[in-house]
Amino acid sequence: MKTPWKVLLGLLGLAALVTVITVPVVLLNKDSKFETFAKDKTIGDQDRAGNLYYKTYNLFRAVVLWWPDSGFVSSPTRLEQSLRVRCYLNDRSAMEALKGNDKCCPGKSVQKPTRHKGLIINGSEYNPSNSGATRLPPRHAVHLPVSSSTITAPDSVGGLCQTECFRLQNNLCLFSEEIFSAYSALWWSPKGTFLAYAQFNDTEVPLIEYSFYSDESLQYPKTVRIPYPKAGAVNPTVKFFVVKTDNFDPNTNATPKEISPPAAISTMGDYYLCDVTWVNEERISLQWLRRIQNYSLMGICDYDNSTNSWTSPVAQEHTEMSTTGWVGRFRPSEPHFTSDGKSFYKIISNQDGYKHICLFQIDKQGCTFITKGAWEVIGIEALTSDYLYYISNEYKGMPGGRNLYKIQLSNYTNVTCLSCELNPERCQYYSVSFSKEAKYYQLRCSGPGLPLYTLHSSSDDKELRVLEDNSALDKMLQDVLMPSKKLDFIILNETKFWYQMILPPHFDTSKKYPLLIDVYAGPCSQKADAVFRLNWATYLASTENVIVASFDGRGSGYQGDKIMHAVNRRLGTFEVEDQIEAASSVSSERFVKLSEPQFPHLDNGDHQAYLTGLPKGLNGTPVPARREAFKTWHLPPSSSSGSQLSFWFLDGTRGGLKINSTVMSRAENFKQVEYLLIHGTADDNVHFQQSAQISKALVDAGVDFQAMWYTDEDHGIASSTAHQHIYTHMSHFIKQCFSLP
């Protein structure tokens, strides 16, 4: 009996040995059928990382153009195609192409756009085939938005704002980029009876200059000069006009009526016009903001037919103040008026510092909050007679999520989440587009799964159809070893802070992985969210097995003013400390290699990646690879520094400047790290001056570092060759830092 048992045990042992050998081989062979997200792959998403690669993964979005509520036009648009069109319209070669394209722009001259990207057309007509039209007078420069709306200027309109609009041509960077986030400063009344417009004067604003090298045929570089107000410098002035357009005489000029800012604003020094909203055909609201940005005032103006003028009653003025920082997130929120024009809803900070919806009566002070909680309303999306629709991050207490809600106006306790349970595994981050009368809406799911676009009826909120589900991309990615994404939080100083980690395929906590910290901590930024992305982090995690982590510390947005305003007058302190402490916390995980975490900055214009490169108690030494940095606080644009460096403008000096937040005092510390500095020489946003001063400080301190500049590239470094090169170069640098093969 012993012999058969020995034989049986021997066979079982042999089978176990074969299994031990075979299973890993099978698994390895299985993975060998999959591709990694390597450098020879292309992605087409909003991050334009597709310019780095050569094979295209087509990520689609559904673009809806709303007609009257009886119908709509929808066509799936590949994001990569959309971005190519956008780049084409902004590319210098496109300027040349359009000059000779009579079908596109007959007989018109096309100028290079300034900071906020858009074409400037001199002439009377530009008709790309797209949605709605904006009518403008002849003989004036007009701004063509990236969305390529039809722009016409019939000669019968006459000489509207023949002299007043002369500054529109310059596309003032301060107002177009930092204030309105738009390419024009024109607002038609609902029925087109009135045209409101802003007039800017930047003749006293100091100029920023940079060289434009072009190709070798240019013997001497050109000097580009742009009016650019910096911290403490002279700002452009602004005036606001409204002109009646229903009785134009083509042979005479119209007579615009100026609406001046309230005395409470105009007597307090510099100010901005930050929002214009038509209430109805004869009522308009204007929001004015002090340069220090902790005080705003909204005035509601009415048209007086008897005097052909606009009145601004003091009783219809509403102020908004912040004692902890600045008003709004990036600017005061826009009002949403009821159909009778007697009240409006607006997002403001409540007494606990969270952004919520408040109901105002136009002729009464104070307001009534209709939402509340330790979460924030992101935006008001639609207002009907029965419901108000809004996006918030309330669901599951996750600041990086977005969902659509509706609240009943007759009973504010009746709140319904319309998207929370639709597809919770795939969709946790929504945006929405409503038809004109809010009878239909398009839900746009951006992640964490593949983007999904659906059409819904507001009457019952049922899904009418799927507009785009990205099934083709889903099938394509089945053959790709994709990374996973972890969204979670840690507790620092008794406060919950969120982070995200892009983890390599088949992530194993028993293994060791290099850690890369992707930082950006501009005030009200958010890096940890539920959005699906295909970008450089995807490549690093999939192909190089690098963990890419991001963290939202103090100064970040959508978690209340206590967190966001913590950096007020303290830029370069708390947000940097939090990033380093978070990196130390993550580095202590057993799956992170004991070598130092790296701190690349993959966006533009932030000081933080530079400062996080300084040793502050990490076990290892961080190695920052970054693009444009703020060297010191007198170099950023005035609108940015006005909100977070408000002490600059009390007396026009630098009295409260924190010297320890500048490069000069810390350059010596960079002898302990490796550093890569990257910048475009034609950056009209964060100027090359910044990197030049950083370089000088590091050289003077005897620091050995790497640098790369991109000739004639602007803030985005977006040309196909440069964008491809920058990510290749940064990839090589990261691999060098991690000693990767």
286-306 pLDDT, tens digit each: 999 999 999 999 999 999 999
Say yes or no to pLDDT of 476 above 70.
yes
State both tokens at 234.
């002279």
Tell me the longest C-alpha to C-alpha distance in the chain: 119
Whole-angstrom distance, CA of residue 645 vs CA of residue 418: 40
Q: Are 277 and 285 in contact (CB under 8 A)?
A: yes
Whether residue 311 has pLDDT greater than 80: yes
Structure tokens at 321: 């103040």
Cα separation, 141 vs 150, whole angstroms? 15
What region does 336 belong to: left with phi over 0, alpha with psi -120 to 50, or beta?
A: beta
pLDDT of residue 551: 94
For residue 36, the cross-strand partners are 481
The per-residue pLDDT for 184 is 78
User: What single DSSP character describes residue 397?
Assistant: G
- C-alpha to C-alpha distance for 323 and 325, rounded to whole angstroms: 6
pLDDT for residue 48 is more than 60: no
Q: Compute the average pLDDT of residues 701-722.
A: 92
CB under 8 Å to 58, separation ≥6 — which residues?
Answer: 44, 78, 79, 80, 472, 473, 476
Neighbour count for residue 257 (Cβ, 10 Å):
18
Cα separations in angstroms, 301 against 213, 218, 267, 312, 333: 49, 53, 19, 5, 18
At 563 the three-state DSSP class reads helix
Residue 608 has pLDDT above 60, yes or no: no
Higher-confidence residue of 540 and 24: namely 540
Residues 547-571: what's their mean pLDDT?
A: 94
> In 3-state terms, what secondary structure has residue 695?
helix
To the nearest 10 degrees (0 to 180), the angle between helices 79-90 and 92-99 is 70
More confident residue, 38 or 718: 718
pLDDT band, very low/low/confident/very high, at 5 (cuts 50, 70, 90): low
Q: pLDDT category, 109, cuts 50, 70, 90? A: very low
Are 608 and 601 in contact by the 8 Å Cβ rule? The answer is: yes
Q: What is the mean pLDDT of residues 402-421?
A: 98
Highest mean pLDDT among 365-374, 575-584, 650-659: 365-374
Over the chain, what is the mean pLDDT?
A: 76
Alpha-carbon Rg for the chain in angstroms: 28
Length of the chain in terms of residues written: 741
Residue with tokens 């048209």: 303
Nearest CA to 691 out of 674, 706, 679, 702 is that of: 679
375-399 burial: b if 16+ Cβ within 10 Å, else e = bbbbbbbbbbeebbbbbbbbbeebb
User: Which of 501, 522, 521 lies closest to 513 in space, CA to CA?
Assistant: 501
Q: Indicate the pLDDT class of residue 585, thresholds 50, 70 and 90.
A: confident
| % residues pLDDT > 90 (the chain) | 52
Average pLDDT over residues 107-119: 38
Q: Quick one: three-class SS letters along 302-358?
A: EEECCCCEEECCHHHEEEEECCCCCCCCCCCCCCEECCCCCEEEEEEECCCCCEEEE
Residue 456 scores a pLDDT above 70: yes
Q: Which residue has the higher pLDDT, 611 or 694?
A: 694
Task: Give yes or no for residue 635 having a pLDDT over 60.
Answer: no
- Find the mean pLDDT for residues 625-653: 46
CA separation for the pair 405, 356 (Å, rounded) = 13
For residue 177, what pLDDT band results from cuts at 50, 70 and 90?
low
Q: Does residue 9 surpass a pLDDT of 70?
A: no
User: What digits encode the pLDDT tens for the residues 708-717?
Assistant: 999 999 988 9
Q: Is the pLDDT of residue 505 over 50?
A: yes
CATH for the stretch 481-738: 3.40.50.1820
Pairing label, strands 133-135, 150-152: parallel
Higher pLDDT, 123 or 699: 699
Give CA separation, 547 vs 331, 332, 529, 544, in Å. 35, 37, 16, 9
Q: What is the dihedral of CA 696, 700, 703, 704, to 10 degrees?
A: 60
Predicted confidence band of residue 8 (pLDDT cuts 50, 70, 90): low
Q: Give phi and psi for 666, each to the nearest 5.
A: -120, 0
Interval 4-25 mean pLDDT: 49
The DSSP code for 262 is P
Supply the pLDDT for residue 595: 59
Q: Please report which confidence band the pLDDT of residue 144 belongs to, taking 50, 70 and 90 as the band edges.
A: very low
Residue 250 φ/ψ, nearest 5 degrees: -60, -15
Q: Among candidates 574, 575, 582, which has minimal Cα distance to 550?
A: 582
- pLDDT higher than threshold 50 for residue 377: yes
| Whole-number pLDDT of residue 140 | 34
Top pLDDT among 610 and 185 is at 185
**Is pLDDT of 137 > 80?**
no
- pLDDT at residue 336 above 90? yes
The answer to whether 26 and 33 have CB atoms below 8 angstroms apart is no
Q: Is a pLDDT exceeding 60 seen at residue 72?
A: no
Q: H helices then E strands: how many in the chain?
A: 13, 43
**With contact defined as beta carbons under 8 Å apart, do 537 and 548 qualify?**
yes
Between residues 219 and 94, the one the model is more confident about: 219
pLDDT higher than 70, residue 613: no
Q: Which pLDDT score is estimated for 739?
A: 87
Q: Helix, strand, or coil here: 405?
A: strand
Return the percent helix, strand and coil in the chain, to nearest 5.
25, 30, 45
Higher pLDDT: 663 or 714? It is: 714
Q: How distant, in Å, are the alpha carbons of 271, 301, 363, 425 from that of 317?
A: 16, 9, 8, 46
Q: What is the pTM of this model?
A: 0.80
Q: What is the pLDDT of residue 675?
A: 87
Q: In Å, how far are 27, 226, 330, 541 from 565, measured between CA atoms? A: 51, 31, 12, 33
